[in-house]
Structure 1
Amino acid sequence: YGTLARAAAARPVKVGVIGSLTGAVSVWGRVTRDGATLAVEQINAAGGILGRPVELIVEDDASAPDTGVRRARKLVLEDNVDVLIGVNHSGVLLSILEQLPSLNKVLIGTCATSAEATVQRFNKYIFRVHSNSDQEGMAGALYAAGFPYRRWSVIAPNYAYGYETWGSFISYLKQLRPDIQILDVQAWPAFGAPDFTSHITRLRAARPEAVVSAMWGGDAVNLIRQMRRFRFLDGIALFSPAALALDVLYALGEEVPENLHSNAHGYWFEAPQAGREQANRTFVEAYYARFGEYPHSTAHATYTAVWTFKKAAELAGTTDTDHLIAALEGLEVDFPGYKGYIRKEDHQVVHDQAWGRTVAAGELPFKRRIADLRWFKGEDITPSVEQVLRLRESGQQPEYYRYIIGA
């Protein structure tokens, strides 16, 4: 028995990370890997998990659901990882989600935001330490309600993330501002499409006062460049959860218009929640020293996910799946930038969220920052447990799908 115990203690704890390391959102895959790398290095320097060293294994899903499933199965069945972490694309997440019961492995999501994962298609193995599309949409609506815009439309990718981001945003805004008009002309380009000319032309002809964009990664870069070329944003306000994630700012710099409204996909490295200033500063400085750039929201979430796995495993005293699930449910999550907790009923993290607008920042490498931030309480931007359970039991789409036209 002593020999077996010593062998188990020497065996590394294996963390399997899945990200989109190639394709239109490859930067998001890279920062997923980098956030996990920094966490694993720090954890190993502090003695590991349960006294065991941590080994990081990273796989590329190329933003393709079938590839993501193969990579997840390889990590569990061949590499024998103790936990899965990451996933950038919602289509990939929803496909891997279906495999988790047979794999008997926890996945802690850190980027893909489709609310379906923790609502209609929930299973006990999925956890998320990143805001979902409902939370981002509701926070955006609370922020947007303070502006005078009445005529609204959308440009978003033609899959779950795009539908849910727009649907939650505009349906909640309609509750707050019954006077708004939701235009019938909407744009639903395919993920990874290089040319948005026809969509921009159609939207401009419809004369919206404000547009919600759920484009992200390389798609957001291309969209903003093409909008500038057509002077689309002259007189039209743009609200976007992901368009000010740092990959877009690093790529565009001064091409990013001022007064673009965003939450930077849930985390802005300069703006922690009150009380988290020192923890955030320590993280930002360590990340910059290691990778030579400021931390992206997904690096922040993935870094947090690895530390959250450590916290849960040590509370449970094991990396066994069932014990890990029990430890994660209701767990307080210590992000560098803010605090949150994982709800037991849907395994969705709840934390406060801020929106703001772009202003010039000549001293930063990407020449823009988010200013005039408004924070919203996590409980105010998260559907209630009762709402989640009712929708899950009904098996139906949320009512906000009626606002999705032409997708």
Structure 2
Amino acid sequence: MPPRRRGARSTALAALAALTVTLAGCGGAAGGGGGDEGPVKLVGLWEVKGESAVAIDDYDHGAALGLEAVNAAGGIAGRPVELERVASDVLNPQKTAAQFLEAVDKDPAMLIGFASATALISAKSQIDRAGIPLLSATSSTAPLRNGAEGASDWTWYLQPYDDNKNEAAVRYVTDDLGASRVGLLATNDSFGTSNIATQERLLTERGTPPVAVRTYDATATDLTQSVLPMRDAQAILSFTFPNPLALELNQLGQNGIDAPVVSASSAPIAVNGKLVTGPALDRLVAAVPCDPASSTDPRMVAFRQTYQQRFGAVPTSVSVSTYDAVWIAKAAIEKAGSTEPEAIKAAMADLAVTDGVLCTGEYRADGGHMLHHEMVIVKYAADGSATEARRFTFDPLPAGA
């Protein structure tokens, strides 16, 4: 992991650590890594700004605060925790597979990361061979659900299942917005095409098949031919990356298309990064696992304040997910009573985590290896402010594709 600012903790960070300890009640648990009293090692797989055209710091910043909060709460089974980072290229699955092997060579107790479903699928065979439990930050597409051909049973997902995300978005545009003509936009990778297939199915089941469906390359710089077919849409679903989402919104406005655009975790990233500003924000809606920007939960408010003072930015659900991942790793290793991979894997099977986590009241592993079962609909205003519009809760999944 890149060097962090050391020295005295900020007042807000100390407050967050104290608050987390109080609420989590986590002392050092019994057990530990086979008698080894050294630090427990975790390895993160994500990029930071500058490492690719779509790289963001949210994963790294959230994990940094999670690491500090867990260590302030006594570490894992009374042992300090170390977190190293290996860059994981979002846009190059072949490169990501090699980067994954670099992470494995560091011999961690658990892995955290992957920001791309396409990359995760490409690394499936390496994940199986490595035999190290992975807490994935990527979107949980159908091919990654435990039991599916592309899934590894060593992987658990921090984000809700994509079918749940898509259902929340479809229900919002059809029920809350009353849209009967919906357009679909997405990138042409497995993340985008998988979401479009689910959205099209859900809309058709509701008697409102999409009026237009378009995909494009994630690196495209002109989306005119993709946005023009959306002229008849009353609402647009667009699960894409932050930069393309900003381009979509700008070019929709340039072409006089003012339909609301419902995106996923890319929306708050685009807003916080000021990739989209002004009137275009009035049309933007996000379907996200949680929203630290609009949350009034005291723990999330403390996290937001700490994050802003530490990094000069507003956290997103991605930041909270990697923060929570360190707490989930703590719970899994302490439940296993060991840092041995097989013991941690067995502990993950029915893990339930409430201590320390922020994005949901409880992370609970289901048969599909999804840990999170809630979705929040967030509406933005032209000044960049966010308001929670609706919340959905979904049942745990059984195993199987």
- The TM-score normalised by the length of structure 2 is 0.83
Structure 2 residue aligned with 1:258: 282
Kindly indicate whether residue 202 of structure 2 is the aligned counterpart of residue 172 of structure 1.
Answer: yes
1:9, distance to aligned residue in structure 2 (A): 3.6
Structure 1 residue aligned with 2:347: 327
Pick from 261, 275, 282 the counterpart of residue 302 of structure 2.
282
Q: Give the SS at the match of 2:216.
A: coil
Pick from 271, 274, 286 the counterpart of residue 248 of structure 1.
271
Q: Deviation per CA, 1:286-328, whole angstroms, max 9, x where unpaired? A: 2223222221111100111111001111111111111111222
Kindly indicate whether residue 79 of structure 2 is the aligned counterpart of residue 52 of structure 1.
Answer: yes
Q: Deviation per CA, 1:36-83, whole angstroms, max 9, x where unpaired? A: 111112222333212222221111122111221111111112x11221
Kindly indicate whether residue 158 of structure 2 is the aligned counterpart of residue 129 of structure 1.
Answer: yes
Give, as a single letter, the amino acid of the residue that structure 2 aligns with 1:128: Y
Q: 1:6 to 1:246 in 2, by over 3 A?
A: closer
Give, as a single letter, the amino acid of the residue that structure 2 aligns with 1:74: E
Structure 2 residue aligned with 1:378: 394
Kindly indicate whether residue 334 of structure 2 is the aligned counterpart of residue 306 of structure 1.
Answer: no
Structure 1 residue aligned with 2:113: 86
Q: 1:339 to 1:269 in 2, by over 3 A?
A: same
Structure 2 residue aligned with 1:338: 360
Q: 1:56 to 1:287 in 2, by over 3 A?
A: same
Structure 2 residue aligned with 1:400: none
Give, as a single letter, the amino acid of the residue that structure 2 aligns with 1:123: S
Q: 2:187, 2:218 within 8 Å by CA — same for their partners in 1?
A: yes
Pick from 365, 375, 387 the counterpart of residue 353 of structure 1.
375
Inter-partner Cα distance in structure 2 for 1:25 and 1:8 = 42
Structure 1 residue aligned with 2:249: 224
1:210, distance to aligned residue in structure 2 (A): 2.2
1:243, distance to aligned residue in structure 2 (A): 4.4
Q: Percent identity?
A: 22
Q: 1:342 to 1:99 in 2, by over 3 A?
A: farther
Inter-partner Cα distance in structure 2 for 1:7 and 1:349 = 27
Q: Could you say what the CA RMSD is over the residues aligned between the two structures, in angstroms?
A: 2.3
1:211, distance to aligned residue in structure 2 (A): 1.8
Q: Give the SS at the match of 2:221.
A: coil
Inter-partner Cα distance in structure 2 for 1:143 and 1:239 = 9
Kindly indicate whether residue 124 of structure 2 is the aligned counterpart of residue 97 of structure 1.
Answer: yes
Q: 1:169 to 1:181 in 2, by over 3 A?
A: closer
Q: Deviation per CA, 1:203-222, whole angstroms, max 9, x where unpaired? A: 43xx2222211122222122
Inter-partner Cα distance in structure 2 for 1:242 and 1:35 = 15
Q: Give the SS at the match of 1:186.
A: strand
Q: 1:339, 1:351 within 8 Å by CA — same for their partners in 2?
A: no
Structure 2 residue aligned with 1:142: 171
Aligned length: 361
Inter-partner Cα distance in structure 2 for 1:123 and 1:33 = 24
Q: Give the SS at the match of 2:160.
A: coil
1:189, distance to aligned residue in structure 2 (A): 0.2
Pick from 292, 308, 311 the counterpart of residue 269 of structure 1.
292
Q: 2:335, 2:347 within 8 Å by CA — same for their partners in 1?
A: yes
Q: 1:115, 1:134 within 8 Å by CA — same for their partners in 2?
A: yes
Q: 1:321 to 1:18 in 2, by over 3 A?
A: same
Q: Give the SS at the match of 2:273.
A: helix
Once superposed, which parts of structure 1, at least 4 consecutive aligned residues long, lie more than 4 Å away?
5-8
Q: 1:333 to 1:25 in 2, by over 3 A?
A: farther
Uncovered stretches (5+) of structure 2, i.e. residues with no partner: 1-31
Inter-partner Cα distance in structure 2 for 1:92 and 1:192 = 16
Kindly indicate whether residue 43 of structure 2 is the aligned counterpart of residue 13 of structure 1.
Answer: no
Q: 1:90, 1:114 within 8 Å by CA — same for their partners in 2?
A: yes
Q: 2:182, 2:236 within 8 Å by CA — same for their partners in 1?
A: yes
Inter-partner Cα distance in structure 2 for 1:222 and 1:166 = 19
Inter-partner Cα distance in structure 2 for 1:137 and 1:374 = 14
Give, as a single letter, the amino acid of the residue that structure 2 aligns with 1:182: P
Kindly indicate whether residue 99 of structure 2 is the aligned counterpart of residue 71 of structure 1.
Answer: yes
Inter-partner Cα distance in structure 1 for 2:362 and 2:124 = 23
1:35, distance to aligned residue in structure 2 (A): 1.0
Uncovered stretches (5+) of structure 1, i.e. residues with no partner: 361-366, 393-407
1:167, distance to aligned residue in structure 2 (A): 2.5
Give, as a single letter, the amino acid of the residue that structure 1 aligns with 2:372: V
Q: 1:17, 1:86 within 8 Å by CA — same for their partners in 2?
A: yes
Q: 1:111, 1:298 within 8 Å by CA — same for their partners in 2?
A: no
Q: Give matches, 1:388-407, under 5 Å.
A: 389=400, 392=401
Q: 2:260, 2:284 within 8 Å by CA — same for their partners in 1?
A: yes
The structure in which a higher percent of residues are helix is 1
Q: Give the SS at the match of 2:184.
A: strand
Inter-partner Cα distance in structure 1 for 2:327 and 2:269 = 22
Q: 1:136, 1:165 within 8 Å by CA — same for their partners in 2?
A: no
